[in-house]
Structure 1
Amino acid sequence: MSGGVSNILVENVHIWDSRRGVRIKTAPGRGAYVSNIMYRNITLHKVRVGIVIKTDYNEHPDEGFDPKAVPIIGNISYTSIHGQGVRVPVRIQGSAEIPVTNVTFHDMSVGIVDKKFHVFQCAFVQGQVIGSVFPMPCKNLDLYNEQRELVKQSTLQNISDIDYSF
């Protein structure tokens, strides 16, 4: 990933009996970018964490990496995500150093296992929710109706505002 990853489509995938559904992982020292990634028509069944973006993975092939090389993560969309038996539907862990920008959720309905984990878990994330999304999305995502008209803008001032609504 140190060279960058972009323009990827992942679609028509059924994931079951797994710890993770779809995941993007990176860390300081990786550099480059992860952008224009589209997930479409994903089904999750008995998955511990459905959607993951983690920016502090801290796994490197050797000690020769540059810790100041931080990746840029943005323009990631999740459309038509459905399933049952998911413990944590979404966990996006950006950081002040590596924020996650322009994330979009559209047409999502995931049945949850445990009520105490029923919301998205987010930190340093900016983006939007279009139409109906269940369970409740992060507070730092703008809400749009199906016609893509703004319904409610995030009340958080910027992506550095942490939303640990779990």
Structure 2
Amino acid sequence: MSGGISNITLENILVWDSKRGVRIKTATGRGGYIRDIFYRNLTFTNLLVGIVVKTDYNEHADDGFDPKAIPSVENISFHGIHGRDVRIAVRIQGSEEIPIRGISFTDMNVGIAKKKKRLFQCAYVRGRAIGKIFPAPCESLDQYDEQGRLVRRSTSQNATLPDYDV
């Protein structure tokens, strides 16, 4: 993808016995955008990682890519994510050059297969967790209660990213 993708809704999906449930990847040199993507009612069973969003996936078809083509990744929503036997629930890996903005999680309960320290991983991301989220969301996300009231503002270094609208 080197142009853009937007306004996509994916819903009522079951993913089982796989490495990943959802995977979004891009890198410098791709350009374009990934925005306004909505996931609803996802069920995961026996996965390595439930959700992966990665902006430093440095794999190109050839050497003819433009290193100045910087993609944007924003407004990705996950609502109603459930599952069991997942080793890492979420891995959101933005980069300094390509941060992820406006990601949100609502109504999430993913049972973990093995006890690990970091079950919800984030880097260079700005977003929010709304309502009950399990496992506990990373500190890079603002936390809101079920009525949409701010409970805790992000305290990580990622809080310096510009604000967003979700």
- Greater mean deviation of Cα atoms: 13-22 or 150-159: 150-159
Which runs of 5 or more structure 1 residues have no equivalent in the other structure?
162-166
Shift of 1:159: 4.7
Counterpart of 2:51, as a letter, is I
Q: Which residue of 1 aligns with 2:77?
A: 77
1:60 corresponds in structure 2 to 60
Amino acid in the other structure paired with 2:18: S
The aligned length equals 161
Determine the structure 2 residue equivalent to 1:111.
111
TM-score, normalised to structure 1, is 0.93
Deviation at 1:152, TM superposition (A): 1.0
* 1-structure distance, mates of 2:145, 2:78: 16
Would you say the 8 A contact 2:87–2:119 is kept in 1? no
Cα RMSD, aligned residues only:
1.4
After the TM superposition, which segments of 4 or more aligned residues of structure 1 sit over 6 Å from their partners?
none
Structure 2 unaligned spans of 5+: 162-166
Deviations 1:105-125 (A, max 9, x none): 000000001111552111101
Task: Report whether the alignment pairs 1:86 with 2:86.
Answer: yes
Q: Deviation at 1:89? A: 0.3
1:154, distance to aligned residue in structure 2 (A): 1.0
Aligned position for 1:2:
2
Amino acid at match of 1:68: K
TM-score normalized by the length of structure 2 = 0.93
Map residues 11-50 of structure 1 onto 2, 5 A cutoff.
11-50=11-50
Deviates more, 1:110-119 or 1:71-80: 110-119
Give deviations 1:23-56, integer Å, cap 9, x for gaps: 1010100001000000100000001000000111
Cα distance in structure 2, aligned partners of 1:81 and 1:118: 18
Q: Which secondary structure state, in structure 1, belongs to the residue aligned with residue 146 of structure 2?
A: coil
Q: Deviations over 1:49-90 (max 9, x none)?
A: 000001111121221110111100010000000000000000
Secondary structure of 1:158's counterpart equals helix
Structure 2 distance, partners of 1:157, 1:53, is 19
1:132 matched residue in structure 2: 132
Structure 2 residue identity aligned to 1:150: L
- Change in 2 beyond 3 A, CA 1:27/1:157: closer
- Residues 118 and 135 of structure 1 are in contact (CA less than 8 Å); yes or no, is this contact kept in structure 2? no
1:87 touches 1:118 (CA, 8 Å); kept in 2?
Answer: no
| 1:156 positional shift | 2.4
